[in-house]
Structure 1
Amino acid sequence: MDKLRCISPIDNRLYVERPLATDYEIQNALSTAERAQLHWASVPLREKVEVVRRAVALLQQKKLELGEEICWQMGRPIAFAGGEIDGFAERALAMAGLAESALAEIKLQEKDGFLRFIRRVPLGVSLVIAPWNYPYLTAVNAVVPALLAGNSVLLKHSAQTPLCAERMVEAFIEAGLPGGVFQYLHLGHRDAEQIVIGSDVQHVAFTGSVTGGAAIETAAAGRFMSMGLELGGKDPAYIRADADLDYAVASVVDGAFFNSGQSCCGIERAYVHHSLIDEFVECATQLIQQYRLGRPDEKATTLGPLVRAGAADFVRDQIDEAVQQGATAHIDDGAFAMDQRGSAYMAPQLLTGVDHTMRVMNEESFGPVLGVMAVTDDEEALRWMNDSEYGLTAAIYSSDVETAIALGDRLQTGTVFLNRCDYLDPQLAWTGVKNSGRGCTLSSVGFEHVTRPKSFHLKTIV
């Protein structure tokens, strides 16, 4: 029997092993989900909301245990790992609070002799394919709105974080969710694609690489199904001349290096007004040097390993190539004892002298490196910020709100930040442009992607 094997980046030992679902188990899960959805759709919304609230409470009670599992599965420092459960709760409860208004009937202007309204009805079965980097936070974006809207959900989690799928489903079942409404399946890529190709699944939410998203689109060709794709990113920050520099440095550095740079909307490139560039680099370098690279199960660690050695070497290659092309590296990786090629433990790095011909500035890194360029004005900053195949978020640091909004209107991105970065507000739509994907999660708009409109046009006869 084929098995899923989670190798912990902490020590390269086998942490979790699970059998992959058989063809029979996959078909049984699909059939069960279809039957369960018919009943779940008729359950009053207030009862659905209460199930979500109870599930959140149950997961929060296990925050320390779940944080330890996150640490061992994907390498986030234990000091921060449990915070993901708090984020899960924030988003899930926000969706529960928005559900009544987001799913309410749309009433039309009265018309003599007619009753007209539009309802949002569930799609059916939703397949959620979630990644490892934020295993609860990414999954909740699609799972909770789908359930609240009356869909059933099949969750396929990354092979790196299988326990997260199991724990989520366990919590919802313990919270009173009827059997079959929310299930997990441990699957290989082929079986996941086959579900998209040949089953009655009506919605797919995928978070992952551009290549993976393209494979999902190919598999869904001709199915006319609803689809949400959150794919790659190369998110920029612009530090204007009027920015609070100390604040901007702290925010950008955290946005670039938290979770070892393995964040969907992490900052990977910074454009700094030329009048601030020297001070920015000096302050950022000092701050980066304070990170402690080490085993993530040790409380003092602030920078853990990347998910695997190959991912770290990919980023090292980008850095080495940039330096060979003329970039300057400002961090002495020798000061980080655990850093070595072939290891998942990698020192952080800040580069100047970079340009957009270098891979480190145009190719997603997903690791602890930040390229910094000086710019002369807003126009040059906009040109470089938009010079990317991706468009998930973009951050501006400035004291001028009106100018920031005007610049934001011209940015090719799903979210514009001012004086913050690397954060999802669940009240706002989470979406991307270009190769960062399509569709939307979170906010009231997110419910539109897990439902379909159904019009009622009733002529009354007296």
Structure 2
Amino acid sequence: MQKLQCISPIDNSVYVERPLATDYEIQNALNNAQRAQLGWKQVPVAERAALVRAAVNILQRKKAELAREICWQMGRPIAYAGGEIDGLAERALYMAVLAESLEGPLSDIQLPEKPDFRRFIRREPLGTAFVIAPWNYPYLTAINAVVPALLAGNSVILKHSAQTPLCAERLVEAFAEAGVSPGVFQYLHLDHRDAEQMVINGGVQHVAFTGSVAGGAAVETAAAGRFLSVGLELGGKDPAYVRADADLEYAVASVVDGAFFNSGQSCCGIERLYVHRDLYSEFVQRAVALIYKYRLGRPDETETTLGPLVRASAADFVRDQIDEALAQGAQAHIDGSEFALDRRGSAYMAPQLLTNVNHSMRVMSEESFGPVLGVMPVADDAEALALMNDSEYGLTAAIYSADEQAALAMGDQLQTGTVFLNRCDYLDPALAWTGVKNSGRGCTLSGVGFEHLTRPKSFHFKLRP
């Protein structure tokens, strides 16, 4: 029997081992999902929302346990791991309120009255949603797709990363304990081949994938000809710009946190920075001082503020980007020897800030997904805008400025799914979470997100023949 193994980045031990689903188990899950969805879509939205709230309460009660599991599965410092459950609650509860609102995204669309006719558009669930979730924010990325799909009346099958299998199990357990009917929400531990076959041959009507560009392309290839609804969130190379009028102290703290939280393993983390030349030198000086305050160590120790990357190969990928940039003339500002445990071949990696970089370097054009930040000086908004748009990705972009109108003018020209002013690396569930270019397509969260989980069905009644 094939098995899934989660190798903990803390000490390279096998933390979780699970058998992969058999062909029979996969087909059984699909059959159960299809049958259960027929009843689930008849459940009033208010009841679905109540069950979501109950499941969230169960997960919140288990916050400490879930935080330890996050820490050991993917390496986030225990001091921060529980915050993911808080974020899960914020998003899920907001979507529940939105779903049950009288004029919300799941209500019928009423049209102007027409004598002798009744006309309206009903939003029908698609059927079964197949959610493929990553390890970097294992609960948040999953909940973005799972909760709206359930609220919309779909059944859900969750396939989580092999690095974070317990997250899938805990989510399904919580919803079952809350009272969600069997078959409505299930998980499967799958390898890539079986996940692909689920899309090609399975009875799913929607696929929500969060991961790499290559993974997204594989999903689209598998879905070709099936006319599926597909949502892809594929990461980015997200930029930030510090204008001359920015609050420097605040901008330094926000950008550094946005670049190095979760060891830089965030789809919408800051990976490249442009600073107005009037603030550039002082910004770099202050940022370097702040970065040196991070404590690299075992994430299960409460003093640790920077944990390991998910695996040694991921850390070495980032190290290679840095080494290549240095060979091309970049300047490193952080001495890695000041951080215990940092060494090539290890998942434990020191943070790094680079200057004298340009867009010919991989570290400024290729997604790093690690604790490195390249910084460039710019003369004005026009230069910053050109550089921010010079990317194959377009997930988020952040501007730091006291001038809201200037930021809005730039935002209208930025090729990105979200524009931030004076913040970064955050998902507000009231706003559409989407990307452009190689950051994907589709949408989650907000009322707009529900449109990708339902189909319109028109009712055109002539009342008097």
TM value normalised by structure 1: 1.00
RMSD (Å) for aligned C-alpha atoms = 0.5
Q: Does 1:52 align with 2:55?
A: no
In 2, Cα distance between equivalents of 1:287 and 1:77 = 18
User: Which residue pairs with 2:80 in the alignment?
Assistant: 80
The alignment partner of 1:272 has SS state of strand
What are the Cα deviations for residues 288-333 of structure 1, in whole angstroms up to 9, with x where unaligned? 0000000000000000000000000000000000000000000000
Read off the aligned partner of 2:74 and give its amino acid letter: M
Partner of 2:233: 230
1:304 aligns with 2:307: yes
Q: Write the mapping of 1:255-404 to structure 2, written as runs, cut at 5 A.
A: 255-404=258-407
Distance in 1 (CA, whole Å) between partners of 2:267 and 2:388 is 17
SS of aligned partner of 2:93: helix
Q: Does 1:43 align with 2:61?
A: no
One-letter amino acid of the structure 2 residue matched with residue 61 of structure 1: R
SS in 1 for 2:208: strand
**Which residue identity is paired with 2:81?**
A
> Counterparts of 1:32 and 1:253 in 2: how far apart (Å)?
47
Q: Which residue of 2 aligns with 1:107?
A: 110
Q: Deviations over 1:251-285 (max 9, x none)?
A: 00000000000001000000000010000000000
Structure 1 CA distance for aligned equivalents of residues 250 and 384 of structure 2:
19
- What percent identity do the matched residue pairs reach? 78
1:442 aligns with 2:445: yes
Matched, 1:452 2:455: yes
Between the aligned partners of 1:176 and 1:328, the Cα distance in structure 2 is 57
Distance in 1 between residues matched to 2:192 and 2:326, nearest whole Å: 36
After superposition, where does 1:3-18 map in structure 2 within 5 Å? 3-18=3-18
What is the Cα deviation at residue 9 of structure 1? 0.1
Other structure's SS at 2:457 match = strand
Mapped to 2, the partners of 1:307 and 1:85 lie a distance apart of: 20
Distance in 1 between residues matched to 2:421 and 2:51, nearest whole Å: 36
Q: Distance in 2 between matches of 1:210 and 1:107?
A: 39
List aligned pairs for 1:134-283, cutoff 5 A.
134-283=137-286
How far has the Cα of 1:449 moved from its partner? 0.5
> Structure 1 segments of 4 or more deviating over 6 A?
none
Deviation at 1:461, TM superposition (A): 1.3
Shift of 1:232: 2.4
The correspondence of residues 421-440 of structure 1 with structure 2, limited to 5 A, is: 421-440=424-443
* Contiguous gaps of at least 5 residues in structure 1: none
Q: C-alpha deviations, 1:102-146, integer Å up to 9, x for none? A: 101100011111110001110000000000000000000000000
Separation in 2 of the partners of 1:168 and 1:10? 24
Structure 1 CA distance for aligned equivalents of residues 47 and 250 of structure 2: 44
**1:47 & 1:178 partners in 2: Cα distance?**
12
**SS of residue matched to 2:120:** strand
Partner SS for 1:270: strand
Quote the Cα distance in structure 2 between the aligned partners of 1:210 and 1:68. 30
- Give the Cα separation in 2 of the matches to 1:404 and 1:276: 18
For 2:263 and 2:456, the matched residues in 1 are separated by: 42
Aligned to 1:65: 65
Q: d(CA) in 1 for partners of 2:106 and 2:165? A: 32
Partners in 2 of 1:199 and 1:50 — Cα distance?
Answer: 30
Residue aligned with 1:206, SS: strand
